[in-house]
Chains A and B, each alone.
Chain A
């Protein structure tokens, strides 16, 4: 029999620290597969966040520059300007990009920096124990919104793609999810497209990925995937939000 799939070379052969069923691991794997397929392992530089994915440099076998909390897009801007021929992408969660790093992310997008942002939206602060994030849904119970998020108290969730779509700089914004086999394939295609935008120096690209956090959602992995499809995707509609032909 012919081997048709095995672990990508760009993913180190170590066990990841993520919880069972975590979407981060799937997204790491997709990035590693793309780096292999596009032959970019030697050229890629990733800027990981503070958050669950802070240890991404232990897993994806490429150069990485760790950024302070929220500053990944600012650091990626600097790296890309110094090394314009490298593929530079930041990998950020919703706490990193949509809370403490909003200013850096929006301004990097507005400047149309030739970087790619992988934005992992799991509607909760994962690493610190499931506190409410700017992307938590209305009614969602977290450790800091035990009775559920309300519009009156915390405001509605921030839709980062729609927010950035109002700016002049971004060239490609798409929202996908890793909650089903079709969703995982679409996520890989979206990340590939975002990388291609950067390679063609066509401006800022961001892929928002709705990703399960079974531990903090207090569900099993399958129920988390169903929750993304049935609940989360209604608040965060999937699809291409902005695309400027490159």
Chain B
């Protein structure tokens, strides 16, 4: 199953819970500061995302949207 996540970087505070709990280690910290002054999380689009939603489950800011491919 393939999926993808969309992170609202303006909401992210860079706590890194999504990075720590992502089973595929697909998320990393951006090198660009957001308006709040945090380095926000960013999805690595080159890697395969299962769309499991664990990142969104742990995200304190509810900043992650999860999409999943229905066909599989």
By a CB distance below 8 angstroms, the chain A residues around B3 are 1, 4
Return the 7 tightest CB-CB contacts between A and B, nearest first: A25-B60, A21-B15, A20-B15, A20-B13, A1-B67, A5-B66, A222-B20
Determine, out of A7-15, A110-118, A145-153, the stretch whose residues face the partner at the interface.
A7-15
How many chain B residues touch A (Cβ–Cβ < 8 Å)? 31
Q: CB-nearest residue of chain A relative to B23?
A: A181
Q: CB-nearest residue of chain A relative to B63?
A: A7
Chain B CB within 10 A, most for which of A23, A32, A225: A225
By a CB distance below 8 angstroms, the chain A residues around B36 are 15
Whether B58 sits at the interface, judged by CB under 8 Å, is yes
Residue-wise interface mask of B (55-72) relative to A, using a CB-CB cutoff of 8 A (1 in contact, 0 not): 011111111111111100
By a CB distance below 8 angstroms, the chain B residues around A11 are 62
By a CB distance below 8 angstroms, the chain B residues around A20 are 13-15, 38, 60
By a CB distance below 8 angstroms, the chain A residues around B64 are 5
Contact call B60/A184, Cβ cutoff below 8 A: no
7 more A-B contacts (CB under 8 A) besides A21-B15, A222-B20? A1-B69, A2-B68, A2-B69, A2-B70, A7-B63, A25-B61, A185-B57
Shortest C-beta distance, B17 to chain A (Å), equals 5
Whether A3 sits at the interface, judged by CB under 8 Å, is yes
Contact call B62/A29, Cβ cutoff below 8 A: yes
Of the candidates A7, A23, A181, A214, which one forms a contact with B57 in the assembled complex, judged by CB atoms under 8 Å apart?
A181
Known: A20-B13, A220-B16. A4 touches B60 (CB 8 A): no
Interface size class of A (residues with CB under 8 A): 20 to 34
Q: CB-nearest residue of chain A relative to B68?
A: A4
A–B Cβ pairs within 8 angstroms, 22 of them: A1-B4, A2-B68, A4-B51, A4-B53, A7-B63, A15-B11, A15-B36, A18-B60, A20-B14, A20-B38, A20-B60, A21-B13, A22-B60, A25-B61, A25-B62, A29-B59, A181-B57, A184-B57, A184-B58, A185-B57, A220-B16, A222-B17
Shortest C-beta distance, A60 to chain B (Å), equals 11
By a CB distance below 8 angstroms, the chain B residues around A184 are 57-58
By a CB distance below 8 angstroms, the chain A residues around B66 are 3-6
Known: A3-B67, A214-B15. A15 touches B20 (CB 8 A): no
Known: A1-B68, A222-B20. A29 touches B60 (CB 8 A): yes
- How far is it, in angstroms, between the C-alpha of A181 and the C-alpha of B20 when the chains are bound? 11
Contact call B17/A225, Cβ cutoff below 8 A: yes
Residue-wise interface mask of B (16-34) relative to A, using a CB-CB cutoff of 8 A (1 in contact, 0 not): 1100110000000000000
- How far is it, in angstroms, between the C-alpha of A69 and the C-alpha of B15 when the chains are bound? 29
By a CB distance below 8 angstroms, the chain A residues around B48 are none
By a CB distance below 8 angstroms, the chain A residues around B65 are 3, 5-7
